[in-house]
Structures are given as structure tokens and as C-alpha cells.
Structure 1
């Protein structure tokens, strides 16, 4: 599969995971980086579109404006929407739009809440598993996020997979910490700064890494700062 065909297929279906696409990702760093960018862009756009407004907002705007202004508002809104649609389509085609400055990243609180919910929902399924995951398997799962580990992972890994993470995707790993099992999510969603959290018997931290983030979730009392530093030392851009 050539690069043009790969990009066409990823753009039409960013979450496609067939064997041919996975092979193209493994064989090309640029393909892996492009897929990560598209997945991140797709998630940011969906987050940006989720704006809650009052049900009667349209009626209040209409009734508060003279009829002549209503016509102007409708025309201006349609023109603005059309212009935005054209700019968005053109930006996707040329691949030059810097969406990082246009779309606001989800709040770190949302990252921690999503992570804790995910851990709680899958705890019963993952708890008895021990896949004894290798370095090669970890690097294979890291490919879509354009990261690799340069040496053996410093903890015993019980479980490793890709998963849906809110409106985005993530690498999902469970490994042995000092107090108990720790869950790691690496996602293409950006965060602004390191933040710890403690809620409903679970604790953890959100750690920015480049344009991505990793989230650690585990038992209260676990030294997440130490674990985070150990992981950052071996996690390198691909």
C-alpha cells in the first residue's frame, strides 16, 4: 500500500484496524505518525463540537432581535458555517492546519475521570489475566502514538491492548506497582501540566508528554510520581 492510499483510507476511517493498515503502520514511521495525528484531530474535533446550550437559546435570540436583525444573523451564520466548512476541508487535504491552536484540549479532570471509569468497568475482566507482556509487544502497541521504549519496561506487565478512551484512543496497560496493580493509559489527547487525583478509593496522576498524555491509576499510597519518572525515562518519540 503506497503512502497516498494509506492516507486516503485513514482519513476516510481513522479508527480502521485491518491487517493491511497495521502492516503499513509498522513499516513506516511517517504512516504511524500520520495515523496518530488523524486520531488526535478526530478526537479534538468531536470534543470541540460538544457544547451544551440551553434548549430555548434560539428562541431567546430570535425574540430579542428586530426582524431585520434576525435575517442578518441567519445569513451571517450560514456564511460563517460555509466558510468554516471550506477551510476545514481544505486543511485536511493539504495537511497544514495547526489544530492545536484552534481546538481547546479536554480538561485534565476529564482525562482522570475517563481513566477511573475505564479501570472500574474492566476490573473484573482484566484482574485474573497475566499475559507476561514483552518489550516487543509494548513497542508494537506504541506505534500508532509515535513512541517507543528504548529498554525493557521496568515493571511486570500483566495486560496490554488498545482501547477506546472517551472520544479518542489509548494504549491500555496494567502492570505491577509497589502497592498493587497500576493501570497506564497513553492517549493522543494533550494536557497542560502534571496533576494528581484521588477519588472513590482510586488515585493517580495525569502526565503530559509532548502532544500526548499518559494517565496512571492505582491504589491510594502508590508513588505515582516515581513510576511516572521511570516510564518517561524510557519512553522516546519514534
Structure 2
């Protein structure tokens, strides 16, 4: 059995240990290490899926975010199914590509970049906020920006559907959703510092990380065809530090 066939069989069934598989593991140290890594990943995914979620979690999130607007309630079992589907997609991609750097599949929150956190946050919260339109004012935006010691010195130029604070990695952020040219755009402002402008792409989205001074960062995420750089530049010109 060649190495490619061995990897495909192990990835399709991490617990498979027939005579051919065992022979390949005994005669090739790399095969044995690969099988151990896949078994460990499979175990971690199984543990991640086995999380008890309160039945009223979705209702409480929606109530906290907006008690004045109706929104479609997504039950927790939908979240579990989505997570399971994401895990399955990861395995399918690995089979097609033939090689995966398994050491980078599971990333601790502290190691995740601002871009990674932002994209994961957009995906996770999209079902809860897609039907909201809070018609947020510039005054409301400035009130939410207080913990980040910045404010807008002019009216925000886009229609804002949603505004709140949220957990962002190991910190907190201002979370705002507004109308872009290609669809809804999400803005995060956090006190996690960034050192340079960083463009990023993935999962049908494009984004940019912008330092805004004072140790704060702004992250813009939109559709893959959205000109997020132009949007970020126009908003950054409106953001000023607040004298303390």
C-alpha cells in the first residue's frame, strides 16, 4: 500500500486497523505518526461536539441583543448540526487535497488572529441578527465606542442595522452591521492591538484589519466582492481618540 492510499483510508475511517493498515504502520514511521494524529483529531472533534447547550440559549441571546425587535429563533440543535457539518467538510477537503497540516487544524483562542476571530464571529452570529434593523444613530454608535476610547467626529455614512458589544477572542469588541455596496458589512472595534493593515479572505468573505491608534483595532468583514478597504478608509477618517 503506498502512502497516499494509506492516508486516504485513515482519513476516511480514523479507527480502521486492518492487516494492510497495520503493516503500513509497522514498516513506515511516518504512516504510524499520521494515523496517531488523525485519531487524536477525531477524538478532539468528538469531544467538541459533545457539549450540553441550554435549551433556552438562543432565546436568551436574542432577548439580550434586542428586546424591541422580532427575530427568527434558531434552535441550539441547528448550531450543533452546523458544527458537525463543518467538521465533515474539513475531512472532505483533506481527502481531495491529499495533505493537511494537522498541527494547525485546532488553534487555541489566544493564537487565533484578529481576522480568524472576526470571520468566525460573523458566521456564528449571522442567523441571530440577519433579520434585525435597529436603525442605529451616530449618537448610539459613539455611546458604544466609549470603552474603546474613540468616537466618530461626523455622522456615520452607512445605514446601521445592528449595534452591540460582544466577546471577541479573549477580549471584547464593538460589533456593528451596516449596509455596504454588495450586502451587509460587519465592523468590529477592539482593544486588541494590531501593528499593520492586514487584508484577509476566506469562506466567501473578504476583510481588513486596521490599527486605529491607542492600542485599538478595527476589523471590517464583508462579501468577497465588497471593497472593504475603501469602506475601512472612509470610516477610519471619522474615528478620533477621546481625550481621557
Please, what TM-score do these two structures have when normalized by structure 2? 0.53
- 2:220 corresponds to 1:223: no
**1:219 Cα deviation (Å)?**
0.3
Give the aligned partner of residue 197 of structure 1.
Answer: 200
| Count of aligned residue pairs for this structure pair | 133
Residues 92-141 of structure 1, C-alpha deviation per residue, up to 9 Å, x if partnerless? xxxxxxxxxxxxxx999610110111110110111000000001100100
**1:233 Cα deviation (Å)?**
1.0
* Cα-Cα RMSD: 1.6
Give the match's secondary structure for 2:154: coil
Could you say which structure has the greater relative contact order, defined with CA pairs below 8 angstroms and 6 or more residues apart? Answer: 1
Matches of 2:111 and 2:222, distance apart in 1:
17
Give the match's secondary structure for 1:186: strand
- On the 8 A contact 1:187/1:213 being kept in 2, the answer is yes
- On the 8 A contact 1:108/1:206 being kept in 2, the answer is no
Distance 1:118 1:107, change over 3 A: same
Matches of 1:160 and 1:223, distance apart in 2:
21
Stretches of structure 2 that go unaligned for 5 or more consecutive residues are 1-108
Give the aligned partner of residue 149 of structure 1.
Answer: 152
Matches of 1:107 and 1:122, distance apart in 2:
20
- 2:210 corresponds to 1:207: yes
Distance 1:164 1:109, change over 3 A: closer
Stretches of structure 1 that go unaligned for 5 or more consecutive residues are 1-105
Structure 1 counterpart of 2:175, from 169, 172, 176: 172
Give the match's secondary structure for 2:233: helix
